[in-house]
Structures are given as C-alpha cells and as structure tokens.
Chains A and B, each alone.
Chain A
Amino acid sequence: MRYVKIKGDKIYEFLERLKNYGKLYAPVKISEKFYDRKEIDDVGEIAFDYQRTIMPAKKYFIPPCEEMFEIDMEENEYREKLEEVEPFVIFGMHACEIVALRILDGVYLNEYPDIYYERRRKAGIIIGLSCLPDEYCFCNLRRTDFVDIGFDLFLHELPDGYLARVGSPKGHKIVDENPDIFEEVRQEDIDAFRAFEEKRQEMFKFKGNFDNIRYILELTMQDKLWDEESEKCLGCGNCTMTCPTCRCYDVQDIPEIGGKKGKRIRFWDSCQFRSHGLVAGGHNFRETKRDRFLNRYICKNSYFYPLGTSYCVGCGNCTYFCPANIDFQENLMKIRGREVIHE
C-alpha cells in the first residue's frame, strides 16, 4: 500500500483542493447532539471529531426518494429517468461505514446491477477518516473496525497531521496532482499510527468477536427477551433509516394531475413497518411486532458471504437513534451470554 502524510497545517488546503474533484460532502455539527453530512462551502465548518451522522452516507447512493421512470400514460411507456450524476467527494467516512458501502455494493451491483446506484457509486470519491469508539460502537466485534478496500484515501489521525493510505487509482491521482500537500511518512509517524491503533483497540467496550452470534440467534428465536424488547419498540423505523446497510425500498406509481404523465418512484422503506410484509388478501408475513422486531436482528446478523462479515457493521446508530432506548448490542450480548466475553 502507498502511504503519504498530510501535515496538520495543510489539512484545510487539502479539503479545499478536494473541491476540484467534485462537490464536497462532509460531517458538520447541526445541533447540540447531532451531526449530519452536507455539501461544504466553508471547509472550516467540517467536524473531524463527529461520531455518527443522523443520516448515513448511503443517502448519496440511494436517495431517500428517487424517480426511476417517467410514465407516459398516453404512449403506455416507462422512460428511464437517469439524471446527470456529477462527481462528488465524501470526506470523513469511518471504517464501518466504508464496509457498509461495500455491503451495499454486493447487493446493488450483483448479477442484476442497479444502474441508478452504479452511476452514483462511480461518481463518488471516498475519503476515510480514523475515529475513536464511543460506548455505542462495536465494529471490533464485527471485524469492521479497520478497512482494507473501498476508499480512495483513508486518513489516520497523527499528533501533527494525518497518515493517508491510498486505496485506489483515484486516490493516487489526488496525491500525484497535489505534491505540495503530501509528504513522505517518517518513522515517528508510523509509531504514532501504531499508538493510535492500540489506544483505539483499548477503548472498545467489549473485546472478542460476534462470529457465532448468527447461530446463537437462530437457536434462541423463541427466547422471551424478544417478547420483552419488542414490547418496548414503537415501530418507528429510525433504526433501519439510520443503519448504513439497511436498504429496503418501496416502489409506487404516482399519476400526475391531468392523468397524462406520472412517475415511478422508489423510497426508503422499513421492515419495522407493518406494511412491509403485507400481501394481497391481508396476509402478513411479519404479522406481529415481535416478528418485525426479530426480523431486523435476523437480517442484520446474517452472513454477507462476499465480504465475510455480517450485514451489521457495528456502528451503533440503531441504538443511538432509538427513541425507546432499545440497545441492539446489549440485546445481542444478552442472547450470547455475557460470561463468554473476556474483557
């Protein structure tokens, strides 16, 4: 891998230069408690120490609502609606969210590639940023705390700047075209990188991994924990909307007034909604709140074989944003049996 260093005093210039490669999106603080990613004009606004954003980066690849086809009722036609996708740069993605994006790639770019997603994915430049876990993070248990591929550049915090790993041809291009920003990595930078990684590992609430959780979960589907926890759930769908790998969508044909035109749109859906499993005649494949609640645990903990991880990357968003204070990680810990965790 190619490593380069960005000196601390060059970071804002670096961010400024990123705008040459496309619209720049980065996390900013939007309230006392919350951060969100938005288009950046003033790079001084960017929050480097954010933990999580209210909307995961998936929104740039799968918008909450998009028009897929324009319907021409008179001609009986569905015309593909592919808007120009301009290049864009997402700055500050954490390791877990980059793995999440690769999980979305596995889903959206399989043998039936989704052209809407693919075009945005090709236009996007991903700049990763190192982070320190808070009490909600458990990416270590998911083995997604460090990312090897899926970014163009990945910045690791140093006392006096950033150590950058170059992960793609686009990443090399950025480094090559901005020689005044980057310099060579020295021994003390490597030492600092090592120290950061070590400190980070120590900060995780639990050690170990969740490799066997899907088997344990399968064997404990009757457990009364699921009755109790699902009882608290409001079915609001916050957990799935804020999850970086949840991607369920619904499709609707909307006629326009006048009846000559219309739109086929798709928009984010949630398995926590009653309508998600409902079919004609009123039968529901996920009839009870318990069914729907458990469905998310099953789905997120199942194996995503192309990547060798689960569908959950351990970001903690679903817990952080749950209005009913339902703790996803805690519930998994309970089902697994706490005594097996070596702290």
Chain B
Amino acid sequence: MNNMNNMNNVYSLYKCRVLRVYDLTEEEKLFLFRFEDAEIAETWTFTPGQFVQLTITGLGEVPISICSSPMRRGFFELCIKKAGRVTDKIHELQPGDVVGVRGPYGNGFPVQEFEEKDLLLIACGIGMAPLRSVFMYAIDNRWKFGNITVINSAKTGKRLLFRKELEAMRDVAEAENIRIIQTITRDPDWPGRVGRAQEHIKYANTSPENAYVCVCGPPQAYHDIFTKLIENGYNPRNIYVTLERRMKCGVGKCGHCIAGSSTFLKYICIDGPVFGYYDIISTPGLI
C-alpha cells in the first residue's frame, strides 16, 4: 500500500505542484496537487482515511488527510483549514507553486471490508475532508457498494464544507441510491435541514443491520453519535472513526500522537487515525 517503503529515508520529501486552488469556505481551501516526478505520479496511491505530511519550504510540516479518491492516479486533493503558521502559508499557495509531500501514512478506513454493504458517512465540520475521500472512492466503485448516505454538518451554511459540490450532486445521486443530507446547527437563515448530524441518522437510506458507518468530527460529538447510531440499530462493530493528535513524524517515531491507556497504547499516526468503536469506548484517553 505504501509505495515509499523502499525509499531509504522515510522523511524525504517528494515535490508536488499545485494545479488548482478552490475556495470552499472563509477558512478552508481545496488544493489539487500533482507529483512532479512522473513515475511517482503514476504509482503513488493510498487508502481513503490516510494522510500526508506537507511541507512549506523553510516553515514546517503539517499532517493533512487526503480528501480525493485514490482512483484518480497522479492527482490528489487536500482540503486545508487556515489554522496557524504553516496552514496560513498554505492558503497563500497559487497554481504552479511547489510543496514537499511524504506519505501516505496511517491505516485508513477498511474500505475492502465495506464492499457489498451499505455505507453511512457522518461528518461534522472539517471531518468532511477524510470522509470525502471515502465517498469519492465509493462513487468511483459504485457497483461495489449498496446504498450510501452522507450526512454533512456544520454550524452555519457558510462553513459547510463541499456544500456546493454535494448540492449539485444531490438529485442525480438520489437516483443512484446515494442520499446527501446537509444540516446546520446554528444558522437561522439556513433554508435547509437543521440540527446536529446524529439527528438525521434516521433519514439515511442505509439499512442498519447491513451498513458500515464512518464518523469524523470533533471527539466530543462521538459519544452522542454512537448512542444515536446504536439506537437506530447500527452494529457497533461496524462503526469506524478517525482521530486527531499533534503529529510530527507520521511514522511512529516522535511520540507526539501516542494516546490510549496502558493496555492499549496506540500511535495515532500508524495504528490509526482510524479506530473501531470498541477500541474507542474501551480505551480511556483515546477520545
């Protein structure tokens, strides 16, 4: 899966060129990249849920989830929130600029296991970034999956990630048994659905006993989402979430992302960032 294993230095960077920049919200932009090296561009691949380490020369490195489908060889997309030193600078990138990338890292979602099953994706805020990769992958392999629902939520309509993209797809998608639900928690002017993501689980087109669920959002929201999922009949063993930590190396060395308890100590960067429901709820300190 990781085609960089044979590289002799895991921290070495590959040059990537920015091809396009799209404004998504006031704080998030979507970047389309291509590897400069043609051979790497052709062979580099990843699993939805994995992330890369992106370097802005002279400034530093940040972990970012890949948000496109691995089926588009040679290209990948990152959705990046302006959050600090490095990400501020990333937001200044223009088409033609070059950055350094290494990866992909992490376990990713077990998408092979999801095949032939229904798929429910629940995103809160920036959580839509890694889940968009799962979603795009499922669309690219539509025949492999059953019904699909995406619940995309944010505080306000303006902050809803990929809002237009998902809106534009909605009617066509419905005909393909793909349901798109976008919901807002704190926006009186929003014309569409309101309420938190978990309140819309009951509107999903997925059959609970036959579905896999991927959740990504702030960890505080997880318990509530789990409760609602189980109430609606979803199998806890089929629930996966992604976690976030401070990361420096991405390869299980620097120790920053270590979390969990003394019987289940995990490196979020290599053992995760994707974890199953039971790992999460039986390990103090993971969320």
By a beta-carbon cutoff of 8 Å, the part of chain A in contact with chain B is 68-69, 71, 73, 76-78, 80, 107-108, 110-115, 213-215, 217-218, 221, 246-253, 255, 259, 262, 266, 269, 271, 276-281, 285, 295, 297-299, 301-303
Given A76-B57, A249-B253, A253-B59: A280 in contact with B83 (beta carbons within 8 A):
yes
Residues of A within 8 A of B110 (CB): none
Residues of B within 8 A of A279 (CB): 244-246
Which positions 238-262 of chain B face chain A at CB distance < 8 Å?
Answer: 244-246, 248-249, 251-256, 258-262
A-B CB contact pairs (8 Å), 19 listed: A76-B15, A77-B57, A107-B252, A111-B5, A112-B252, A113-B10, A115-B8, A214-B262, A214-B263, A251-B61, A251-B249, A255-B58, A271-B258, A277-B256, A298-B285, A299-B262, A302-B261, A302-B264, A302-B265
Given A71-B57, A113-B10, A115-B10: A271 in contact with B252 (beta carbons within 8 A):
no
Q: In the complex the two chains form, is B246's CB within 8 Å of A112's CB? A: no
Closest 9 CB pairs of A and B: A248-B255, A302-B265, A280-B83, A214-B262, A112-B251, A280-B84, A302-B262, A218-B261, A301-B262
Q: Which listed residue (A71, A78, A269, A301) contacts B255, Cβ 8 A?
A: A269
- How many residues on the B side are at the interface (Cβ–Cβ under 8 A)? 41
Which positions 96-110 of chain B face chain A at CB distance < 8 Å?
Answer: 98, 100
Q: In the complex the two chains form, is B253's CB within 8 Å of A114's CB? A: yes
Q: Which listed residue (B8, B60, B100, B263) contacts A302, Cβ 8 A?
A: B263
The docked-state distance in angstroms from the alpha carbon of A297 to that of B55 is 33
Q: In the complex the two chains form, is B12's CB within 8 Å of A271's CB? A: no
By a beta-carbon cutoff of 8 Å, the part of chain B in contact with chain A is 5, 8-13, 15, 55, 57-61, 83-84, 87, 98, 100, 244-246, 248-249, 251-256, 258-265, 270, 284-285
Q: In the complex the two chains form, is B58's CB within 8 Å of A262's CB? A: yes
Residues of B within 8 A of A276 (CB): 246, 256
Q: Which listed residue (B5, B13, B251) contacts A78, Cβ 8 A?
A: B13
Residue of A nearest to B262 (CB): A214
Shortest Cβ distance from A265 into chain B, in angstroms? 11
The docked-state distance in angstroms from the alpha carbon of A301 to that of B55 is 34
Shortest Cβ distance from B70 into chain A, in angstroms? 20
Residues of B within 8 A of A278 (CB): 246
Q: In the complex the two chains form, is B255's CB within 8 Å of A271's CB? A: yes
Q: Which listed residue (A71, A247, A253) contacts B253, Cβ 8 A?
A: A247
Residue of A nearest to B5 (CB): A111
Q: In the complex the two chains form, is B246's CB within 8 Å of A277's CB? A: yes
The docked-state distance in angstroms from the alpha carbon of A295 to that of B249 is 19
Q: In the complex the two chains form, is A251's CB within 8 Å of B248's CB? A: yes
Residues of B within 8 A of A77 (CB): 57
Given A78-B12, A78-B13: A221 in contact with B253 (beta carbons within 8 A):
no
Q: In the complex the two chains form, is B254's CB within 8 Å of A281's CB? A: no
Shortest Cβ distance from A173 into chain B, in angstroms? 27
The docked-state distance in angstroms from the alpha carbon of A80 to that of B15 is 14
